[in-house]
Structure 1
Amino acid sequence: MKRIMVMGVSAGAGKSTFARKLGEKLDIDVYHLDAYFWKPNWVQASTEEFRESNRKIADQDKWIIEGNYSTTYDIRAPRADTIIYLELPLIICLYRVVKRWLTNIGNTRPDMGPGCTEKLDYQFIKFIVTTYHKRKKKMRTRFREFQSAGGPSKKVIVLRGRKAIQEYFTN
């Protein structure tokens, strides 16, 4: 594993924390896509700017890229050798998003772009709830395609639940 995509079913699945721990364990730099997508004060990067940042990261020999972002999956996936997918129940994801907000009010998390202080609004909660089940289905299809495109050199690791995620690091 040298080029790893850490993806999740939803915000709150634990992608950032998992990627950070994995980066430390494997001594590989971690790139959080939110930090490239969001400019200060929650301004979105242009599509081309975001895609270019993904290209620069994906062209490196070793990386862990954390985040879903369908708009740049086509850049990352062909270079990746492994996808690690975190799938937790919707209620746990929602709980974690609210907890993260309460813990970080007024601060910018290390996995975010500078000047993007923690926020939580109805639109974000609605997005999580309305895309959760569709995303689960879409990810399964995406992973089958990923593996069939690269054969045995493309590996997908699915971790369902907190226990599976914790056990991954103890093995």
Structure 2
Amino acid sequence: MKKIAVIGSGGSGKSTFSALLGKELNLPVHHLDQLYWKPNWVKTPKEDWIKIQKGICDSECWIIDGNYQSTLDIRFEACDTVIFLDVNRYTCIYRALKRTFLSTKSQYLADGCDERFNIDFIKFLWEYPGNSKPVIMDKLNALKSKKRVIIARSGKQALRLCKSSQKVA
């Protein structure tokens, strides 16, 4: 495992897990939220966004954490492993609300992007299992014959599965 794409709903623990896995495997970690968002939640232009991701994917080894479905295929094409944190919606929403109301800025967010309550984001998290997850699962099922695909209910489970799959590989 040298090129790993970590995906999952917001609040699933992608960034925390990716940081731990990066230390475990001694791989550089790239948090897409830090790269995509500019101060005050300004988006990176699409053309630049694609170049950023292709540049990272051309590297020898990496862990990339984030969804961004419009560019998911770039990462899926380049990776050797996909880890999908399939965490239940209640946990994801709880984590998102906890970050917001405790005003704990995630260390994995871009500078100048403070946590904020956003009803559209909460709605996205609630609808993720019905809207986004089926698309992800279709892509993962198509990848299974070509790539290592790990689906886990938590970061801890994903770490255990990564360790056991490395022993097998």
TM superposition score normalised by structure 2: 0.89
1:126 aligned partner:
123
When structure 1 is superposed on structure 2, of 123-132 and 78-87 the one drifting more is 123-132
Give the alignment partner of residue 140 of structure 1, picking from 137, 142, 150: 137
SS at match of 1:156: strand
AA aligned opposite 2:5: M
Q: Write the deviation string for residues 112-148 of structure 1: whole angstroms up to 9, x where unpaired.
A: 1111111121111112112332222112111012234
The within-5 A match list for 1:6-25 is: 6-8=6-8, 10-25=9-24
Alignment partner, residue 96 of structure 2: 97
Q: Report whether the alignment pairs 1:2 with 2:6.
A: no
Q: Quick one: distance in 2 between partners of 1:39 and 1:162? A: 27
- The one-letter code matched in structure 1 to 2:149 is V
Which runs of structure 1 show a deviation greater than 6 angstroms over 4 or more consecutive aligned residues? none
The root-mean-square deviation of aligned C-alpha atoms, in Å, is 1.8
Q: What do residues 13-34 of structure 1 show as CA deviations (whole Å, max 9, x unaligned)?
A: 1100000000000010100111
Q: May I ask how many residue pairs the two structures share in their alignment? A: 164
The percentage of counterpart residues that share the same residue type is 37
- Alignment deviations for residues 83-139 of structure 1 (CA, whole Å, 9 cap, x no partner): 011111111111111112233x2x642211111111121111112112332222112
Moved more, 156-165 or 52-61: 156-165
TM-score normalised per structure 1 = 0.88
SS in 2 for 1:140: helix
Q: Give structure 1 stretches of 5+ with no counterpart.
A: none
